[in-house]
Amino acid sequence: MRESNHTGTIPCASGTVNNAGLVFFGNSRRATFLILFGLESVQFALHSLQMIWVDTFGFPARGLKHAAGISKITGSLKLDTDDAHWEPPLAAVKCLDQKRRHGNTMNTLGIIGGLSWASTQQYYRLINEEINRVRGRQASAELLIRSINFQPVIDAQVRNDWNAAAALLCDAARDLERGGAKAFLIASNTMHLVYDQVRDAAGIPGLNIFDATAAQIHAKGLHKVGLLGTRYTMRLSFFREEYARRGIDVIVPEAKDAARVNEVIFKELIHNQVRPESQRLIWDVMAKLHKTGAEGVILGCTELELLMVGERPQTSTPDFGDIPVFDTTALHAMSAAQWLIGTSSQRKP
């Protein structure tokens, strides 16, 4: 059987049959359908196929003849039509095109989370808010989240064993790819140190946090910014070099301030604890960076966003005015939402 020009994959949104895919092939003699999931009975398979077709195209399938066989190995069911001149109907193609244009199709993104859980929930919220803002109605994101145990990652960081940390994320990335993700992101700034290894292990594209952040800095016309984050992000040259490759000069706080920022992250923020004194500390450090020439400040830890809630606290630098703050969590999440829907169009009614 040769594959026709009408080959395509039709996603199923039915509540009855979850995570199903209907793939159709055909030529001038017949058409074959494959239901790509395990089924317990041929009768249920026939019913499910009809449900998928109706759910996708809005009208019943005609000419279903029989179940040609169920593969116990692949869990797939093959069904033939009895129409000798079958081809995918034009109405079906038009219907699917309308679904795409009206926001019923979406890419699937995998998130490597748990780094920490406090920031992972922020990613989930921000991505879904943007998807719903653009698509309207009850639209939400097609996401797979692989939340890993943060403690072994932290232990590897402390030992300076980045290969061990990378192995944990590589396993998570492979899980996401097997689960159907077409791209992934690492919900962490620090762990972008092993981004290339994770991307290679996943075998699918990644959404890089440096790209998302640098694009916004350039959009503001800035070239020199401060960088706050974990001690690894502020101390290791890798992060400054990544921004330098994108045309951005980065400066970091003095050692004492950097240690205090790192302590707030690991003792408070990864536990979702937000204290007013820590908010004041972060703004004080940003004010110092501004005084030393920073045109803006990168919140280079995905938990630091938690300290930006509410009014800006009074700082120890009275003349500290407005300074652009680049929230990597929000920028990365926005980049993810745009990738998911492939557009930045306005909200639909």
Of 259, 273, 265, nearest to 300 (Cα)? 265
Per the prediction, the chain carries an average pLDDT of: 77
What's the average model confidence in pLDDT over 277-302? 95
Taking only the tens place, the pLDDT of each residue in 12-65 is: 333 333 333 333 333 333 333 333 334 344 444 444 454 444 444 444 544 443
List the structure tokens of 218.
């350039």
Whole-number Å distance between alpha carbons of 279 and 309: 9
Cα–Cα distances (Å) from 10 to 19, 27, 288, 338, in that order, read: 11, 18, 55, 22
Whole-number Å distance between alpha carbons of 113 and 186: 7
CB 198 within 8 A of CB 186: yes
| pLDDT top residue among 225 and 25 | 225
List the structure tokens of 168.
């944990």
| pLDDT top residue among 195 and 89 | 195
Q: Which amino acid is at 207?
A: L
Domain extents for the chain?
8-101, 109-209, 216-332
What's the average model confidence in pLDDT over 91-117? 71
Please say if the pLDDT value at position 181 is more than 50.
yes
pLDDT value at residue 25: 34
Domains 109-209 and 216-332 share a fold: yes
CB 307 within 8 A of CB 269: yes
What's the average model confidence in pLDDT over 128-155? 96
In sequence order, the 6+-apart residues with CB closer than 8 A to the CB of 243 are 210, 213, 214, 225, 227, 249, 250, 298
List the structure tokens of 68.
């040609």
Q: Domain 216-332 maps to which CATH number in 3.40.50.2300, 1.10.3720.10, 3.40.50.1860, 3.30.70.260?
A: 3.40.50.1860
Q: What is the CATH number of domain 109-209?
A: 3.40.50.1860
Q: Which amino acid is at 237?
A: S
Cα–Cα distances (Å) from 150 to 145, 147, 200, 228, 271, in that order, read: 14, 9, 22, 21, 11
Whole-number Å distance between alpha carbons of 321 and 339: 35
